[in-house]
Amino acid sequence: MRNWWKALAIILLVYTVIAGFLIEVPKQVILYESIRNLYFHVPMWFTMILLFLLSTIQSVKNLSSGSIASDQKAIEYVNTGIIFGALGIITGSIWAKYTWGAWWTNDVKLNGSAITMLIYLAYIILRNSMDDEQKRARISAVYNIFAFVMLIVFIGILPRMTDSLHPGNGGNPGFNNYDLDNKMKLVFYPAVFGWILLGLWIASIRIRISKIKEQIES
Amino acid sequence: MRIIITIALFLLSMLSMAQDLEMAEKMRSEGKIYVVVAVLTVILIGLLIYLINIDKKVGKLEKELKK
């Protein structure tokens, strides 16, 4: 079975939805049942970061070999990653409203992720603005690598240096310390894996479609 | 006498409230959370089946192109 990982994605996601709502969670003031958002909001970001990382790898490949196929893979990974990022921002916003009290706060991680999304939107616009295939591939590959470096700075480094409302950032203890007990891990890890597989699945379909398009055009 | 009983009852109710955090236990004991789980499972499976169909359609196109 070549598509076993797609079946695994389905099993993990169905498990996430069922177990995610039924398994007991630690009782926390402010958070209450909304702690279950951890199974859905956080994996969106993990999936986005992985897709962007894969895109960066394809861009490096493109620069080293000049392969147009790599450039196509790079853009489709970003296209899919953007969707997950947008879902991450929207779900985070809803969660923030009912725990932190506002749809949007000036939290470093929130602004950092918003800037990251804009950087990647700029990548798509930049790539679409050029017609020459080789030139488009090379320039957008350079920009794409730069974009991932910015992602690391804005999502990975800056939130840890200043105060942040997010767990695990800026003196705020991580979920691991006391909130994420073993029961939650039983759902959280499969959830992360399932959502990542779903992201890879969607990206793979997009890549195949773009290959078909190219074959038709040539 | 009545006042004492009232105060005692009030304190008792305070005690029971302080004992544990009220989460969604009521909803769960009535079993309604299962409705949400069912709805979400249906939506998720529906979308996944849709994705499988798209996957198959792309596969067909790939086969046609190979010919």
Q: Which CATH number do you get for residue A62?
A: 1.20.120
Residue B63 lies in a domain: yes
pLDDT at position A171: 62
A61-113: pLDDT as tens digits: 999 999 999 999 999 999 999 999 999 999 999 999 988 889 999 888 999 99
Do the chains contact at B37 and A18, CB–CB below 8 Å?
yes
Residue A52 lies in a domain: yes
Task: Residue A58: name the closest of A147, A122, A129, A125 by CA.
Answer: A147
Label residue A15 by pLDDT band (50, 70, 90): very high
Residue B5 lies in a domain: no
pLDDT at position A163: 79
Query: What's the domain range around A192?
Result: 4-209
Residue B10 lies in a domain: no
pLDDT at position A173: 60
A215 half-sphere exposure, CB direction, 13 A CA radius: 13
Residue B25 lies in a domain: yes
Distance CA A161, CA A152 (A): 13
Give the one of B21, B45, B62 whose C-beta lies nearest to A14's C-beta: B45
Cα distances from A138 to residues A1, A119, A162, B45, in angstroms, run: 36, 17, 36, 40
| Measured torsion, CA atoms of residues A115, A119, A121, A123, in degrees rounded to the nearest 10 | 180
CA of A204 to nearest chain B CA: how many angstroms apart? 9
Which residues of chain B are within 8 Å of residue A201 when distances are taken between CB atoms?
51, 55
Number of domains in chain B: 1
A118 SS3 class: helix
Task: Residue A85: name the closest of A122, A123, A41, A55 by CA.
Answer: A41
Q: Are A160 and A169 in contact (CB under 8 A)?
A: yes
Which residues of chain B are within 8 Å of residue A21 when distances are taken between CB atoms?
33, 36-37, 40
Cα distances from B38 to residues A184, B25, B43, in angstroms, run: 21, 18, 9
Supply the mean pLDDT for chain B.
Answer: 76
Residue A217 lies in a domain: no
The amino acid occupying position A59 is S
Interface mutation vs chain B, best among A21, A80, A179, A212, most B CBs within 10 Å: A21
Comparing A117 with A166, the larger pLDDT belongs to A117
pLDDT at position A30: 83
| Measured torsion, CA atoms of residues A122, A113, A203, A184, in degrees rounded to the nearest 10 | 180
CA of B23 to nearest chain A CA: how many angstroms apart? 6
Distance CA B33, CA A36 (A): 13
B55-67: pLDDT as tens digits: 999 999 999 998 8
Distance CA A72, CA B19 (A): 59
Q: Are A169 and A108 in contact (CB under 8 A)?
A: yes
Which residues of chain B are within 8 Å of residue A10 when distances are taken between CB atoms?
45, 48
Number of domains in chain A: 1
pLDDT above 90 for A127:
yes
Query: What's the domain range around B56?
Result: 21-67
Residue B27 lies in a domain: yes
Q: Does B47 touch chain A (CB under 8 A)?
A: no
Residue B54 lies in a domain: yes
Read off the tokens for A88.
């991450």
Distance CA A24, CA A144 (A): 42
Cα distances from A55 to residues A61, A78, A147, B15, B25, in angstroms, run: 10, 6, 10, 57, 44
Model ipTM value? 0.76
